[in-house]
Amino acid sequence: MPSPLDILDQSPSDDEDESDPDQPGLADIDPVIRRAFVKLVLVINVGALAAALGVLFLVFRGNYVYAAAIGVPGFALLAYAAYEYRRVTDYRDDRD
């Protein structure tokens, strides 16, 4: 039985060409959209973490001060991400 590490070390066969000309590469993506994507991923991750921690402080500790101090900015970041997503999709639709 092959080891999982042996399977990972195998190089792709010559039949599989990884450079498919039909698929767009990273250079083909509009820089504004690419920057917005990275920014939204970071904002959503931080916002979701902060909002969840705020709710957890409220439910399990009953500490309203920590819950508000952490949760409110988290929900604000999620609202900002929704606004920014709508703005970027409008930008993309205007370009098409």
Is there a domain that residue 22 lies in?
no
What are the b/e assignments for 49-82, b being 16+ CB within 10 Å?
A: ebbeebeebbeeeeeeeebeebbeebeebbeebe
Is there a domain that residue 21 lies in?
no
- The rounded distance, in Å, linking the Cα atoms of 52 and 36 is 24
Is there a domain that residue 36 lies in?
yes
Domain with 55, as residue range(s), is 30-95
pLDDT top residue among 67 and 27: 67
Average pLDDT over residues 22-26: 69
Position 54 pLDDT exceeds 80: yes
Position 79 pLDDT exceeds 70: yes
Is there a domain that residue 44 lies in?
yes
Position 92 pLDDT exceeds 60: yes
Q: How many structural domains does the chain have?
A: 1
Is there a domain that residue 17 lies in?
no
Is there a domain that residue 5 lies in?
no
Is there a domain that residue 70 lies in?
yes
